[in-house]
A and B are shown apart, each in its own frame.
Chain A
Amino acid sequence: MSSAVDAPRNSRSFARSASGSGPGVRLLRWLRANLFASIPSTITTLLLALLLARMLFGFVKWGVLDAIWTVPGNDTSACRALRGTGACWAVIPEKYRFILFGTYPFDEQWRPALATLVFILLFYLSSRRSLWRRELLFIWAGALVLVGVLMWGGVLGLSFVSQDRWGGLPVTLILATFGLAFGFPLGIVVALGRRSKLPAIRSICILYVELVRGVPLISLLFMASVMFPLFMPDGVNIDKLLRAQIAIVLYAGAYLAEVIRGGLQAVPRGQHEAADALGLSYWRKHRLIILPQAIRHVIPPLVNTFIAFFKDTSLVLIIGIFDLLTTAKTAIIDPAWQSFSVEVYVFVALIYFAFCFAMSRYSRHLETRGQAVW
């Protein structure tokens, strides 16, 4: 492997800067520099090309050439006959409504669909730098209320849908987004507490952060599903989804606190001193001077943390909450479609990938371009 390493002397840049005398020559020169620069490099290229071609051919044969796209009714015998050699994509048109929206009343499924769009719009608006102002808070509050109205209903002529019928993509988005929306203020408070000069407050914050970060999310979710009812007084019965949401908020709070603490440490000490010199109180100093700077510093890691939550919400499968992954797993319990889990998993993986890839691209864009603006 080490022979192929050429970190600093990046031959790509040489190839670009060299003046080519025509597209053909330039292409040849590029190929020479980037694929066939030396004998080991040539061998690597050929072996990889062979491997890639074999894998691509196998995938295209399974996923396209030998695949079945529709079946009559619920008769999957044609798919069964092909098992192992060809994909049965017919399972997707058959089950996609259930995978995306779970057991939400079929005729009302435009509501979770609209809620999903609201979330996507919210993410888009939050990514606009021109909107990184206090108004964004109102946009978030408005969007979350709108999602609640759409999902629950009961007002504006919408019929009420209880949350044990919610499922699929909106539940995943709700768990992640509400986790961020409530975990973020919690994280700010805990991060400030961890930097506080008051020993009792500092120790409580350190205990909380280290305890939550030291254990797996599953144990927190188990706590929410099994232990939480034990800790409530008689007659108080909190819904399962809400309990999982609380666990995710507590989990998110601890991780966000560490991210925000990093931002607080990056604010120069002179800013603290200047604010003190103006006679600002602790809270006014942090609200007006310190936090706005600290949070701007940590927006890229905040996006990365959000990607992690978005993926981690899939763990609610283990305590039986109907998020996107659980609905996918449930969709293939149907005996007729039982053996086509790979196709369903590929479909769901594409949805997760679309969200996470967009966010990680955005975060990288902020990291490379964003510095100059601040």
Chain B
Amino acid sequence: MIQTTPKVRPRRRIRLSLRDERVRGWIWQIVVVGIAVAVVAWLWSNAIHNLSVRRIATGFAFLGREAGMPITDTWLPYSPRDTYLRAFIVGLVNTLRVAVIGIVLATVLGTAIGIARLSSNWLLSRLAAVYVETLRDIPLLLQLLFWYVLMQGLPGARAAWTPIDGVFLSNRGLMLPWIQIGAAQLWVLAALATGLVALFVVRRRLVLRQMQDGRSRRVWPFALLLVVVLPALVSWSLGATWSVTKPELRGFNFAGGLTMAPEYFALLIALVTYTSAFIAEIVRSGIQAVPRGQWDAALALGLRRSFVLQQIVLPQALRVVIPPMTSQYLNLTKNSSLAVAIGYQDIVSVANTTLNQTGQAIESIALIMLAFLTVSLGISLFMNWYNARIALVEH
């Protein structure tokens, strides 16, 4: 991308060689494109031939047929009587469920460990270094199998391990107390979300006005109003009740509360711990990339250390951190496909079962690739937008 001056350079040469270079360029392109097209056409004709010999229909018509594949751990309602298309959507939602929650948890854990590595406390920084080094140098699949074996080795539901009342860890997975959510509760949550967005807008307004006249304005009354009073009012007017259900042992399994299946839990732990090690390194190098003079200048102004870290160092570190962080988020999402190794039914696992049941290999793999390309593109676009938003505006 550096050489962009084709018009200046050829002046010294004679016309024939200029034309020669262009012609050579055209010949190269025609040859390469020709080879690529020929290879693809050859592979395609072989595939058509092989498929007709094996009597496999091409196309996506199979998506409308009944899947007959059981998927136990889902968010969307699903039964084996549903179509393959439905099974794929359920699988995709399962992928997103582990990827989104994994990204959030890995960011929190990774940032904490990255900061811990820079701690002045020797023991803390050493332990963080050992954590990072160990997790980074062992294959994720091995870690995943390891966590899964540990989950299976836990006691049964009747002898479940209970660290806090209402939380049960057994070979049936992790059971947590959970709020029952109905229509009224959803409205309250929507009010909370609206309040948060409104608070964000109000805060920006206040900062803009402070920039004009230099007087600082209080944010907390707005915060109280929008985030606490508004949802409370909605809750009161709808008469929503907030009952927490605890999981209870019934027969051989638990009922009520929130259940994380062992497969999901093992996959989530493996993805979060593995990715957090990489994120910790990114956060550490991001903080170290902020010049020391920034700390010195801020401290010389008499600002508190926590204020300096939050308002001066972290925002600058964030700019360095965003691009590598994006690729870690993409990695986590792609790595969630390892779910197939322990039987968590994400999109890869669903596609694999479909492929074995119907023989539609090309279509199933194309669907996996399409799904991941879409998700990757979505994450990239979002992070690029965020990166552009926080970038320094240079004059």
A binds B: yes
Query: Which chain A residues have a beta carbon within 8 Å of chain B's beta carbons?
Result: 1-12, 34-35, 37, 41, 44-45, 48-49, 52, 84, 195, 197-201, 204, 211, 214-219, 222-223, 226-227, 229-234, 265, 269, 272, 276, 307, 311-312, 314-315, 317-318, 325, 329, 341-342, 345, 348-349, 352-353, 356-357, 360
**Residue numbers in B under 8 Å from A352 (CB-CB):** 137-139, 142
A216 is contacted by which of B32, B115, B355, B372 (Cβ under 8 Å)?
B372
Contacts of B305 in A (CB 8 A): 2, 5
A-B contact count (CB 8 A): 198
Residue pair B340, A218 in contact (C-beta under 8 Å): yes
Q: Please give 8 more A-B residue pairs, beta carbons under 8 A apart, in addition to A8-B296, A219-B369, A231-B43.
A: A48-B123, A201-B29, A214-B372, A218-B348, A222-B352, A317-B341, A342-B150, A356-B138
Q: A201–B28 Cα gap in the complex (Å)?
A: 8
Cross-chain contact A325 with B28 (CB below 8 angstroms): no
What's the Cα separation between A307 and B153 when bound, in Å? Answer: 31
Contact A4 B121 (CB under 8 A): yes
Give chain B's interface residue range (CB within 8 Å of chain A). Answer: 35 or more
Contact A218 B29 (CB under 8 A): no
**Is B98's beta carbon under 8 Å from chain A?**
no
- Are A360 and B137 in contact, CB atoms less than 8 angstroms apart? yes
A73 to chain B, nearest CB (A): 25
Contact B141 A315 (CB under 8 A): yes
From known contacts A197-B3, A345-B142, infer whether A4 and B119 are also in contact, taking CB-CB under 8 Å: yes
How far is it, in angstroms, between the C-alpha of A72 and the C-alpha of B377 when the chains are bound? 57
Are A318 and B341 CB-contacts (below 8 A) given A230-B50, A349-B146, A352-B139? Answer: yes
B2 adjacent to A215 (CB under 8 Å): no
Complex: A5 Cα to B376 Cα, angstroms: 34
- Is A353 a contact partner of B123 (Cβ separation < 8 A)? no
B120 at the interface (CB under 8 A from A): yes
Question: In this complex, which of A7, A215, A234, A342 has the most chain B Cβ atoms within 10 angstroms of its Cβ?
Answer: A7
Report the bound CA distance from A198 to B310 in whole Å: 47
B87 to chain A, nearest CB (A): 17
Chain B residues lying within 8 Å of A227, measured Cβ to Cβ, are: 361-362, 365
Q: How far is the CB of B55 from chain A (nearest CB, A)?
A: 13
A11 to B122, CA, bound (A): 10
Interface string of B109-152 (1 = CB under 8 A from A): 00010011011111110010000011011111111011001100
Residues of A within 8 Å of B149, CB to CB, are 341-342, 345
Closest to A346 in B: B146
B337 in contact with A7 (CB, 8 Å): no
Known: A3-B306, A48-B124, A360-B136. A218 touches B337 (CB 8 A): yes
Residues of chain B with a CB closer than 8 A to A217's CB? 334
Interface locus among B170-178, B187-195, B229-237, B287-295 = B287-295
B296 to chain A, nearest CB (A): 8
B338 within 8 A of A: yes
Closest chain-B Cβ to A18's Cβ sits at a distance in Å of 15
> Are A353 and B309 in contact, with the CB atoms below 8 A?
no
- Establish whether residues A6 and B146, one from each chain, have CB atoms under 8 Å apart when the complex forms: no
**B interface residues with partner A (beta carbon < 8 Å):** 1-3, 6, 9, 25, 28-29, 32-33, 36, 43, 46-47, 49-51, 53, 112, 115-116, 118-124, 127, 133-134, 136-143, 145-146, 149-150, 153, 287-288, 292, 295-296, 305-306, 309-310, 313, 334-335, 337-338, 340-341, 348, 352, 355, 361-362, 365, 368-369, 372-373, 376-377
- A9, A218, A233, A317, most chain B CB atoms within 10 A: A218
Task: Give Cα distance in the complex from A171 to B231, angstroms.
Answer: 59
Most chain A CB atoms below 10 A, which of B29, B51, B348: B29
Closest 7 CB pairs of A and B: A6-B120, A356-B137, A34-B122, A311-B139, A216-B334, A200-B29, A314-B139
Q: Are B115's CB and A5's CB within 8 A? A: yes
The residue in chain B whose Cβ has the minimal distance to the Cβ of A341 is B149
Give every chain A residue within 8 A of B287 (Cβ-Cβ).
Answer: 7
CA distance A272 to B2 in the complex (A): 10
Cβ contact of B3, chosen from A48, A272, A315, cutoff 8 A? A272
Taking a contact as CB atoms under 8 Å apart, the answer to whether A226 and B355 are in contact is yes
Beta-carbon contact of A10 and B28 below 8 Å: no
* Bound-state Cα–Cα, A317 to B145, Å: 11
* A345 and B145 contact, CB distance less than 8 A: yes
A195 touches B1 (CB 8 A): yes
The smallest beta-carbon distance between B19 and chain A, in angstroms, is: 16
Task: Please state if A84 and B369 are interface contacts (CB–CB under 8 Å).
Answer: no
- Report Cα–Cα, A226/B50, bound state, in Å: 13
Question: Which residues of the partner chain A approach B296 to less than 8 Å between Cβ atoms?
Answer: 8
Q: Whole-angstrom distance between the alpha carbons of A192 and B236 in the complex?
A: 65
* Contact A218-B47, Cβ < 8 Å, known A272-B2, A356-B138: no
What separation, in Å, do the CA atoms of A280 and B243 have in the docked complex? 78
A357's partner among B122, B137, B335 (CB-CB below 8 A) is B137
Closest CB of chain A to B241's CB: distance in Å?
37
**What is the bound-complex CA distance between A216 and B335, given in angstroms?**
7
B46, B121, B352: the one contacting A45 at CB < 8 Å is B121
Q: In the complex, which of the residues B43, B119, B340 contacts A6, with contact meaning CB atoms closer than 8 Å?
A: B119
Interchain CB contact under 8 A, A84 and B153? yes
A33 to chain B, nearest CB (A): 8
CB neighbours (8 Å) of B292 from chain A are 8
Residues of B within 8 A of A357 (CB): 133, 137
Please state if A231 and B46 are interface contacts (CB–CB under 8 Å).
Answer: yes
**Docked CA distance A175–B362 (Å):** 25
User: In the bound complex, what is the Cα–Cα distance between A238 and B262 (angstroms)?
Assistant: 38
A233 to B43, CA, bound (A): 8
Q: A274 CA to B31 CA in the complex, in Å?
A: 29
B121 touches which one: A34, A214, A318, A348 (CB < 8 A)?
Answer: A34
User: In the bound complex, how far is the Cα of B375 from the Cα of A46, in angstroms?
Assistant: 44
